[in-house]
Chains A and B, each alone.
Chain A
Amino acid sequence: MLKLPIYLDNNATTPMDPRVLEAMIPYFTEHFGNAASRNHPFGWEAEEAVDYAREQVAKLIGADPKEIIFTSGATEGDNLAIKGVFEMYASKGNHIITAVTEHKAVLDTCKHIEKAGGEVTYLSVQEDGLIDLKELEAAIKPTTVLIAIMYANNEIGVIQPVKEISAIAKKHGVLFFTDATQAVGKIPVDVIKDGIDLLTFSGHKMYGPKGVGALYVRRKNPRVKVTAQMDGGGHERGMRSGTLNVPGIVGFGKACELCRIEMEEDTKRISQLRDKLENSLMQLEEAYVNGNKEHRLPHVANISFKYVEGEGLMMGFNKNIALSSGSACTSASLEPSYVLKALGLGDDLAHSSLRFGLSRFTTEEQIDYTIKAISETVLKLREMSPLWEMYKEGIDLNSIEWAHH
């Protein structure tokens, strides 16, 4: 029996894998020690658990355990990487390059950098969401200290050419930081092969707990350092003070291990379901996939259904299906998705978009239900849409003088 509601908003957060929870439980009550307590068994147990998790985390991304800094999540990692590099390498320069489709945690951190006297270049993206490598290289100046480009986008799932970016960074002696929150655990990420200097990701996007993440900071070729953004006991090699979240870290480690072992199988199954969903919905007239379809996460689809509005669309099924829309009405800002707008989509298409994020726990039955519910709602709302009627009558919507309000 199909259980409702169906969860297809896995780019926002994933459910935790029960095996992760199982690993965490003893570390709340039984092994509750502080990993920094060096003088008794409670502390030793906690430290041992953290060390083990650090290995599990490092292994997933091809890093050395010593290169893993535990954080509270990807937002903290973004802040620590960007502000930390900006401060640490101030004598070298003050220029950072990023892209307009980055997560707010990166963009707002860059805004902060600008206020602090730094200079930031925001690269635009092409229609498919990919950055232009030539533009990237042209933006590098003698004062550039960091390139901050995400691994894969949270709204459209588009995967940036990370290897090529890192090669350009290396050629010019610039550090490369990537927010890999949506990518790690879903596709193979390897800091050595990919040439990454700093990388952040988070537990709760990959079936682990919320409130824990990691920042990878390269130790060799080159040795990278970041200035700590919190003062305190000098934990995590002095880069991130604060008592370690031992149960969270244990769970995060377990989640990384499961992803490493099961990623290939999971991806095969999930991408088939995603393709089924996407291909079926694309049978509807005037439906458009947003972002590059080839360089894309296997579990993500972002589709615009022209002439229906995203929030109105979701209302047709949101009791039973959980997902996100790029519509303004679903955001606090009343602005449609800045990511979709950066692809050159008109506001109308941005308003009409739905984002699907599948997971390890998504079933074919759920996808079949979703296809049916969304198709029916789109058809119903189009019957109700004056824009659809005009489109069907062959009226060019751009020829109408709309009263903007």
Chain B
Amino acid sequence: MAYSEKVIDHYSNPKNVGTLDKASKTVGTGLVGAPECGDVMRLQIEVDETTGIIKDAKFKTFGCGSAIASSSLATEWLKGKSVDEAVKIDNMDIVEELNLPPVKIHCSVLAEDAIKAAINDYRKKNGLEELVFEERIH
């Protein structure tokens, strides 16, 4: 299977690889996937408390090139967005941007799940109610 240029670019030069302090109140962490399934994503956001804008985002991913690219792209999109805007990132936007083939759509779903999990972790830490997302079938 050939990868799209954009997947290859994100894989070769991943953006925002790293770790934020998960104990910090301003940091939300989402850990999704499972080692047995062959992909695990950890996505973190750091929110500016006064503006509510995501000022930093980092990821680490165990998985195929498409999973790495999906999470790298997600961190790029997250930075500069408000938390409310970030919730609206849809996995199909990632599929489109990266030209993911049908067998790799689950990578984009995982990235979306990671974003939502990170946001909920942030909300929980800050005494906000966790958002309920529609259960989706993977």
Interchain CB contact under 8 A, A312 and B32: no
Taking the closest CB of chain A, its distance from the CB of B17, in whole angstroms, is: 5
Flag whether A397 is at the interface (Cβ < 8 A): yes
Interchain CB contact under 8 A, A403 and B64: no
A47-106 contacts to B, CB under 8 A, are none
Q: Given that A386-B42, A405-B106 are contacting pairs, would A347 and B64 also be in contact in the complex, using a CB cutoff of 8 Å? A: no
Q: Given that A329-B38, A347-B38 are contacting pairs, would A386 and B64 also be in contact in the complex, using a CB cutoff of 8 Å? A: no
Please indicate the chain B residues that have their CB under 8 angstroms from the CB of A385 in the complex.
60-62
Please indicate the chain A residues that have their CB under 8 angstroms from the CB of B138 in the complex.
405
Give which listed residue, B37, B39, B65, B109, contacts A315 with CB less than 8 A. Answer: B65
Interchain CB contact under 8 A, A312 and B67: yes
Query: In whole angstroms, how far apart are the Cα atoms of A316 and B14 in the complex?
Result: 12
Flag whether A311 is at the interface (Cβ < 8 A): yes
- How many residues on B have C-beta within 8 angstroms of the other chain's C-beta atoms? 32
- How many residues on A have C-beta within 8 angstroms of the other chain's C-beta atoms? 30
Taking the closest CB of chain A, its distance from the CB of B47, in whole angstroms, is: 21
Chain B CB count within 10 A is highest, among A316, A329, A348, A383, for A329
Taking the closest CB of chain B, its distance from the CB of A285, in whole angstroms, is: 15
Flag whether B57 is at the interface (Cβ < 8 A): no
Query: In whole angstroms, how far apart are the Cα atoms of A400 and B34 in the complex?
Result: 9
Flag whether A153 is at the interface (Cβ < 8 A): no
Query: In whole angstroms, how far apart are the Cα atoms of A384 and B41 in the complex?
Result: 10
Chain A CB count within 10 A is highest, among B36, B60, B62, B113, for B62
Q: Given that A307-B62, A312-B63 are contacting pairs, would A384 and B14 also be in contact in the complex, using a CB cutoff of 8 Å? A: yes
Q: Given that A384-B14, A386-B42, A389-B19 are contacting pairs, would A404 and B36 also be in contact in the complex, using a CB cutoff of 8 Å? A: yes
Give which listed residue, B8, B14, B17, B62, contacts A309 with CB less than 8 A. Answer: B62
Query: In whole angstroms, how far apart are the Cα atoms of A388 and B14 in the complex?
Result: 17
A360-405 contacts to B, CB under 8 A, are 383-389, 397, 400, 402-405
Flag whether B119 is at the interface (Cβ < 8 A): no
Flag whether A142 is at the interface (Cβ < 8 A): no
Please indicate the chain B residues that have their CB under 8 angstroms from the CB of A309 in the complex.
38-39, 62-64, 67
Flag whether A232 is at the interface (Cβ < 8 A): no
Interchain CB contact under 8 A, B37 and A389: no
Query: In whole angstroms, how far apart are the Cα atoms of A115 and B32 in the complex?
Result: 41
Flag whether B118 is at the interface (Cβ < 8 A): no
Query: In whole angstroms, how far apart are the Cα atoms of A391 and B40 in the complex?
Result: 14
A-B contact pairs, 28 of them (CB 8 A): A309-B63, A309-B64, A310-B38, A311-B64, A312-B11, A315-B3, A315-B8, A315-B11, A329-B64, A334-B103, A346-B35, A347-B38, A348-B36, A384-B14, A384-B60, A386-B42, A386-B60, A387-B62, A402-B33, A402-B34, A402-B40, A403-B32, A403-B34, A404-B37, A405-B32, A405-B33, A405-B34, A405-B106
The residues of A with any CB-CB pair to B shorter than 8 Å are 307-312, 315-316, 327-329, 334, 336, 346-348, 351, 383-389, 397, 400, 402-405
